[in-house]
Structure 1
């Protein structure tokens, strides 16, 4: 994520091109700042990010619909995505506090269901001869999936704290990487 390079086989490029040092440093500073804000003001920061998400969905929906004038391929899907983006953006911007609760909770439910599915698959693999390790991982995944689904609001709050810690760690790593990059 930090060291994006183009392959040497890319037409027009003779050597790999990496991101400029200042851009990696800026990415690290922004990630670190967001992580600190998430820890210090989790609700306020989450509301602000949800509002930005609503603005993004709204603008993206408008641009997808506008792109139909120049490119009519897959017009049905573009129309669907455009209208869905506009409606989602309007709903998030009209109800930012409800969206701040609803979107992380919905994400926790999706992750919980995914945990149940992965757990069931791993448990089935363990019982069919893949080993007791796969079975144990399946049971643990099912337990975590059930916990997330049973306590979605608490899981959503914990998700904010996990994102904060990951943003801080990623920001520090990007800053260190940028400072070690050649000038």
Structure 2
């Protein structure tokens, strides 16, 4: 009976190691795709977003019509769903130009948020300085956020491509670490066999 438990545990550990290895390979492949084909990856992500908007818009319109008898503001859902359907159709009809527009808009929005956070941090640093407290962390955070915001707004699509490449690099590193971990588990398992 003890031998059966050991074999069962060994099979479970071997299965877990194989799963970890597959996860590492998938991370590595996805990372390489993002790193080597950032524009195509971005287009694919925006295409998926378009499909989501279309499905969500249809569901919202359906829900609006279901609520019209007991919700007097049902038309807000109807408008929201209609906009979702429209956005989905636009993205699916013109994925290339939609990628540039959608990505540029979202990255520019992130740039504006970074600038607002930067100004807020600089104001906090100034207040701390007036109170004779150390505000250098807020000062540097504010400067960094302002620079980041300006860069994102100045070249939003290029910034998005750089972000995709950075994510690709992180996924490649995570994949390599995961594969190494799976190999390490195999080595430890062979020592106990």
Same fold (TM over 0.5): yes
What does 1:32-111 correspond to in 2, within 5 Å? 32-72=28-68, 73=71, 75-111=74-110
Given candidates 155, 160, 168, the residue that maps to 1:156 is: 160
- How far 1:81 sits from its partner (Å)? 2.4
- How far 1:87 sits from its partner (Å)? 0.7
CA distance in 2, matches of 1:99, 1:50: 7
How has the CA–CA distance of structure 1 residues 52 and 117 changed in structure 2, closer, same or farther, with 3 Å as cutoff?
A: same
- How far 1:88 sits from its partner (Å)? 0.5
**Unmatched runs of 5 consecutive residues or more in structure 2:** 1-15, 129-133, 186-193
CA distance in 2, matches of 1:107, 1:93: 18
- Structure having the higher helix fraction is 2
CA distance in 2, matches of 1:175, 1:139: 39
- How far 1:82 sits from its partner (Å)? 0.8
Q: Count matched residues.
A: 160
Q: Deviations over 1:70-116 (max 9, x none)?
A: 44556244223211110110110111110121222212211111110
Give the conservation status (yes or no) of the 8 Å contact 2:25–2:175: yes
- Please tell me whether Structure 1 or Structure 2 has the larger radius of gyration of its CA atoms: 2
CA distance in 2, matches of 1:75, 1:27: 45
Q: Deviations over 1:120-163 (max 9, x none)?
A: 00000000016122122112211211122122232122122123
31-40 or 47-56: which moved more?
A: 31-40
**Unmatched runs of 5 consecutive residues or more in structure 1:** 1-20
CA distance in 2, matches of 1:174, 1:78: 45
Give the conservation status (yes or no) of the 8 Å contact 2:65–2:78: no
- How far 1:31 sits from its partner (Å)? 5.1
Give the conservation status (yes or no) of the 8 Å contact 2:104–2:157: yes
Give the conservation status (yes or no) of the 8 Å contact 2:42–2:161: no
Give the conservation status (yes or no) of the 8 Å contact 1:107–1:156: no
1:135 and 2:139 aligned: yes
Q: Which position in structure 1 is the counterpart of 2:5?
A: none
